Amino acid sequence: MTSNTKKKVTAKKYELTACRICKSQKLYPFLDLGYMPIPNGFIDKKDLNKVELNYPLRVCVCENCWLMQLQHVIPAEIMFKNYLYVPSTSKTMMNHFDQMSEETLKVAHARKDNLIIDIGSNDGALLSFFKKRGVQILGIDPAENIVQDANKRGIRTKCAFFSEEVGIETEKEFGKAKVITATNVIAHIDDIHSVIKGIKAMLHPQGVFVMEAPYVIDLIDNNEFDTIYHEHLSYFAIRPLIKLFEMYGMKVIDVRKQNIHGGTVRVYAAFENSNYEVHPRVSNFVTEETLKKLHLRTTYDEFARRVKVIKQDLVSFLKRIKKEGRSIIGYGASAKGNVLTNYCGITTELLNFIVDSTSYKHGKYTPGTHIPIFPESKLEKETPDYALLLSWNFAEEIIEKNKKYRERGGQFIITIPYLKIV
Ligand code: DWN
């Protein structure tokens, strides 16, 4: 393994002193995943010996509104200006976005001349389905490399970090939006109050804002600790989100559970004085969060204890089969996979390489652990004994597409919610 010179970064990152939503200073730290590089900081071969910036990855929970959140904030520019994650390589995600566009247009009673804005639009995967349904579209995303591609493919996209100011200028330029979407992005933004003010500025009085984010109950119940990384500043429950929208004269009108990314909530919000009724499902989520004891420290302490057991079980299993002379690779060069390998100290001493479907990542190396990334086609020619599924959230799709590898005797190692071999 190339020596990974861990440099602890002090400049520019900052430590949270108050809750991102309610500003309470009662923050309870409960899990420390150590210092590690940013989760999508894939490295070119020529840079392998350069010093890598490592940041603390510690989680706390606000004891006032019970928002789970990272204790340190890494500057967004470092993580998102040049971004290597795109959702469109997954059929599961594309089917999900297709269904989401259909559902949101129905909820908002949108017409063809209505504007739909997607915040954090990435490669335009979601907007492409809105465009197919004939409505006007606009993306907003900070990743210069991906925005360029999106515009080339006819997905009109502004390159910017979303904020109140960007919302105001976007409304002036494009008018009010009947639907504003934000999938896996609100959890990534530090100044969440600025974002909500920006959304208010762009939203039609009878419009809906729809956000998707991993659901904290699934994260805790399924031990999804590898979804805790520097990009994800907040880990949402519904109750703190209701409080956030109420601060700005908005209401959560519906919450619908989704199976993607290890368990996600699709949250609909609208202006308090709009025509939308609040669906009874909303209070069911709040009740469930009380039953799951999200308001007690022990819930988080118990989760942290399970994380340590999963790490021990996985590392000892991998070391044992390696000692028996078996070959092991990784499948899916995901951000969560980079957290798992860095937290567990899994390097090329255990995984020979990782295969991935994202062309941007081929030929690069994982941050911190420096494992080489190859196209999935490498598995057509080789049959390693085991593939550690680093993108377990796409287990069904990945296992299905690798029938031949499994017929040749290859087996998948799945770590979440507990270690199992399929
Ligand atoms: O919030 C975020 C989530 C939505 O996506 C972002 N901040 C970053 C990113 O996290 P991730 O990289 O853990 O997400 P995924 O979608 O779990 O990553 C999947 C990885 O697996 C991609 O690199 C593509 C790869 N993959 C593959 O190699 N073969 C995926 C599928 C479905 C496949 O068949």
Give the atom of ligand 1 at the shortest distance from the alpha carbon of 332: 21
Give the atom of ligand 1 at the shortest distance from the alpha carbon of 227: 13
Q: Is the pLDDT of residue 2 over 50?
A: no
Which token pair is 360? Answer: 């941007």
User: Cβ distance 337 to 368 under 8 Å?
Assistant: no
Ligand 1 centroid to residue 87 C-alpha, Å: 7
Ligand 1 centroid to residue 89 C-alpha, Å: 8
Segment 326-344 mean pLDDT:
98
CA 179 to chain centre: 22
What would the pLDDT profile of 23-50 be if each residue is shown by its tens digit? 999 999 999 999 999 999 999 999 999 9
Ligand 1 centroid to residue 176 C-alpha, Å: 32
For ligand 1, atom 1: residue with the closest CA: 184
Helix (H) or strand (E) holding 404: helix 403-407
β-partners of residue 208 are: 179
Give the atom of ligand 1 at the shortest distance from the alpha carbon of 226: 13
- Mean of the per-residue pLDDT values of the chain: 95
pLDDT band of 180, cuts 50, 70, 90: very high
Choose one of 85, 342, 364, 366 to mutate for the ligand 1 pocket test, by most ligand atoms within 8 angstroms of C-beta.
85
240/164 Cα distance (integer angstroms): 20
Which token pair is 118? Answer: 């997607």
Ligand 1, CB within 6 Å, residue ranges: 85, 89-90, 92, 184, 231, 261, 332-336, 356-358, 376, 391, 393-394, 397-398, 401
Choose one of 394, 397, 412 to mutate for the ligand 1 pocket test, by most ligand atoms within 8 angstroms of C-beta.
394
β-partners of residue 167 are: none
Tell whether the torsion through CA atoms of 337, 212, 175 and 250 is positive or negative: negative
Question: What pLDDT sits at residue 86?
Answer: 84
Ligand 1 centroid to residue 243 C-alpha, Å: 31
332/340 Cα distance (integer angstroms): 12
Of the two residues 352 and 78, the one the predictor is more confident about is: 352
Q: Is the pLDDT of residue 270 over 60?
A: yes
Question: What pLDDT sits at residue 84?
Answer: 80
327/342 Cα distance (integer angstroms): 20
How many CB atoms sit inside 10 A of residue 353's CB?
Answer: 19
* CA-wise closest residue to 163 among 182, 145, 150, 135: 182
Ligand 1 centroid to residue 18 C-alpha, Å: 31
Phi, psi of 282 (to 5 degrees): -60, -50
Question: What pLDDT sits at residue 8?
Answer: 55
What would the pLDDT profile of 251-266 be if each residue is shown by its tens digit? 999 999 999 999 999 9
Q: What is the amino acid identity at position 85? A: Y
For ligand 1, atom 15: residue with the closest CA: 334
Q: Is the pLDDT of residue 12 over 80?
A: no
Q: Determine the angle formed by the axes of helices 281-291 and 238-246, rounding to 10 degrees.
A: 130
Question: What pLDDT sits at residue 3?
Answer: 43
pLDDT band of 197, cuts 50, 70, 90: very high
Ligand 1 centroid to residue 297 C-alpha, Å: 31
Which token pair is 274? Answer: 């709009």
What would the pLDDT profile of 368-393 be if each residue is shown by its tens digit? 999 999 999 999 999 999 999 999 99
Question: What pLDDT sits at residue 7?
Answer: 56
Segment 311-326 mean pLDDT:
97
What would the pLDDT profile of 398-412 be if each residue is shown by its tens digit? 999 999 999 999 999
Q: Is the pLDDT of residue 1 over 80?
A: no
User: Cβ distance 53 to 9 under 8 Å?
Assistant: yes
What would the pLDDT profile of 236-249 be if each residue is shown by its tens digit? 999 999 999 999 99
Name the residue with tokens 């087996």: 411
Question: What pLDDT sits at residue 228?
Answer: 98
